[in-house]
Copies of this chain bind each other. A is one copy, B any other.
């Protein structure tokens, strides 16, 4: 699976970070999905190879503006770009009301269908995608969800060693077995299933909305390769700000990921106070150092346009 970060700032854009948006896609897929759509997401998309025509679904974690104010413009531009295929829009019920109100009040007519799915019902009502998706309830000032994307490569590889041991030669027979068809060889029935290796383990990436209780992900994290979670503040600033905003600190998330031995942790959604220039204070380096102190796995701090691939061995690396 691939991840492309389109916005990594919390609340308000800065000169170096836009507000929340993350693209995710299955390996080698043409289609892609978007998680959150802060204002200016369509502008960020313009600076990538992604096309609004191949966008299959948008998932909105919660209704706060820095996660959804880019929706109307992106939907309008997709229409202008000639989109006609239906688009899934998964989110809280208010997101459907928001899109409908904006369309009515600003006379926006979309020439394609939007299929709204309430996040609360997502686990029973899956969109038709290359990825399967679960929603997990989080804790924030408004209802917020994590979306957990799984990719199961249905292809099974041939067990070459076993074929050689059985003296079945490469060629047409291998092709038939690979495609799952049983064959007859010298009068003997050869079952494809016995010469195919088990399916590769499903890959799973969890992309979270705003959340002050990472432990809500304790079940979902067990089978996940990657956790993408907000780390709005460092611990000391989070203490000063108080519990009101209901965000996580780098330490809280890192402790959770460490405890559950998450292989890959990507932090994002940083308060605008953390400067990109690491010679200033506080800087994004403070967030990173705090997280490293509590988590020894593959830690990444997302920047806009960072492009990651999760490989077959479960390692997330930058492209």
Is there contact, CB below 8 Å, between B105 and A98? yes
Binds B, one of A69-77, A148-156, A165-173: A69-77
Contact with B along A91-105 (1 / 0, CB 8 A): 000100110011001
- Between A43, A68, A97, the greatest number of chain B beta carbons within 10 A of the residue's beta carbon is seen for A43
A54 within 8 A of B: no
Given A39-B43, A66-B76, A98-B101, 5 further pairs, Cβ under 8 A: A39-B72, A40-B73, A65-B106, A97-B105, A101-B102
- Min CB–CB distance A241 → chain B (angstroms): 13
Interface residues of A (CB under 8 A from B): 11-15, 18-19, 38-40, 42-43, 46-47, 63-66, 68-70, 72-73, 76-77, 80-81, 94, 97-98, 101-102, 105-108, 141-142
CB contact between A80 and one of B11, B40, B42, B102 (< 8 Å): that residue: B11
- Smallest CB gap from A93: residue in B: B105
Pairs A–B under 8 Å by Cβ, sample size 27:
A11-B76, A12-B42, A12-B81, A13-B43, A13-B46, A38-B73, A39-B39, A39-B40, A39-B69, A39-B72, A40-B40, A40-B73, A43-B43, A63-B105, A64-B106, A65-B73, A65-B76, A66-B76, A69-B69, A69-B76, A69-B106, A94-B106, A98-B102, A98-B106, A101-B105, A107-B141, A107-B142
Copy number in this complex? 2
- Min CB–CB distance A68 → chain B (angstroms): 7
Chain B residues whose CB sits within 8 angstroms of the CB of A69 once the complex forms: 39, 69, 72-73, 76, 102, 106
- Smallest CB gap from A97: residue in B: B105
